[in-house]
Amino acid sequence: MSINILEIIYLIASLTFVIGLKMLSHPESARKGNLIAAVGMLIAVIATISIYQPFDNSKLINYGLIALGLLVGTIIGTMMAKKVQMTAMPQMVSFFNGMGGACAALIAIIEFQNHEVGTGSSFDGEFLVMLLGLIIGSVSFSGSMIAYGKLEGKIKDKVLPMNQLINMIMLFTIVALTVYQMLGYGDSTIFYVLLVVALVYGVLFVMPIGGADMPVVISLLNSFTGVAAAFGGFLYGNKAMLTGGILVGSAGTILTILMCKAMNRSLTNVLLGAFGGTKASGAKGEVGEQTAKEISISDTAVLLSYSQNVVIVPGYGLAVAQAQHICHELEQLLEEKGVTVNYAIHPVAGRMPGHMNVLLAEADVPYERMQEMEEINPRMANTDVVVVIGANDVVNPAAKKDPSSPIYGMPILEVDQAKNVIILKRGMSAGYAGIENELFFYPKTRMLFGDAKDSLQKLTAEVKEV
């Protein structure tokens, strides 16, 4: 009877995961959706402890450890969530994702202690799930920790000689050891060798990847953690854990594919660590040899105030300057003057999927003002002014015109089609792809140098006087 009740509770929890995931698709309902899914997980945890394993004195120590783990995790998670800055949100996502992968790997290690390896005479599906959970969880953990370090600026991009070949050898080794174990020839030593190889592979395939490509990596590692969690749910017969893992894994995989398309990358290259690790310089040519033209705060204010359509392109520089609130204030001032203002959001702007959407939503920018790339690009030619704040590679025309460019073929925001382009930037440094942006030297482009927040504050004050 208790098992039936537990199954019903798991079903309810699974429904909250689905509902929560659906609500995450819109900023206005995302917070509520997150809370609904969290409540569902809490219900599943309490039910698993109290129904599936009824309390008795012999398990007092185990229950004490469980309670301690829940308490410590809750305190640490709450403190990190409250203190994290929007600019550091990708790091926190990577860190939490890595912890999920570590948990999945630990489940596999613990279950291995109680599992008798077969002799190869019959297929052991449970052991295969255990090995896959170990491998994927370990790769997710070590890869996420490297991603965290890189985003935090503590680890630099590093490409080993013959990096692709090494990664392919590592993958082959993982597959070979898995098959060897499944055939029943391996022992605990091989199992832990597999653990070490998986951890090393996670480090090697994330290490060479540059910051511009981190959205793809974060999505991929997130899907890894989901799949590893689903394997853990299979081992324990826990329907809620299985469903949650499947949802995270499938959502992460779909998002990874979308990110790859947005970056014009192949998933194979992601797995082999073949992109984003080197900084290439684009050919300067006649455009690159010209001097970029500057514009003053007052001239910018006049140009914006007397425009009909303005598009703002936010990038990571906006997040670093924490200028989203003053940017929203400028937008409201222009709207009061009869100017139509929208935001152009590139799929991989920032350091994680949806980074710019979350950043602008924090400043109460209406969701309908945030236009996706496919929606805003056809209207760029009729836009009077595009204001680029902290974005670089996602507006670089080289992606369309220069076959030798590392970003050639990557879909971009076609701001070069607008009538006027104003770029807020500290200096003329290249973006994360490490290539020169010829847009800076176009006749229609003007550079407004300085800290984004400071420039926007001065610009807002000037617009009020126009």
Catalytic residues: 393
Dump the DSSP string for 410-429: -----GGGSSEEEEEESSS-
Return the bridge partners of 389, or none: 314, 424
CA 91/CA 83 separation, integer angstroms: 13
**Structural contact between residues 380 and 301, judged by C-beta atoms closer than 8 angstroms:** no
Contact call for residues 221 and 101 (beta carbons, < 8 A): yes
Q: What angle do CA 452, 455, 461 make, to 5 degrees?
A: 135
Determine how β-strand 340-345 pairs with β-strand 445-449.
unpaired
Give how far the C-alpha of residue 466 lies from the chain's centroid of Cα atoms, to the nearest Å. 40
Sign of the dihedral defined by the CA atoms of residues 245, 251, 255, 256, in that order: positive
Distance CA 164, CA 260 (A): 18
DSSP SS3 for 352: coil
Tokens of 333: 């001032």
- Which amino acid is residue 26, in one-letter code? H
Number of residues assigned to the chain: 466
Question: Measured between alpha carbons, how far is 325 from 424 in angstroms, rounded to an integer?
Answer: 16
Which residue blocks in 183-323 are alpha helix, DSSP H? 188-206, 214-236, 239-263, 267-271, 285-288, 297-305, 316-321
Taking a C-beta distance cutoff of 8 angstroms, is the pair 379, 340 a contact?
no
Residue 211 to residue 139: CA distance in whole angstroms: 19
Pick the closest to residue 342 from 383, 303, 306, 378 (CA basis): 383
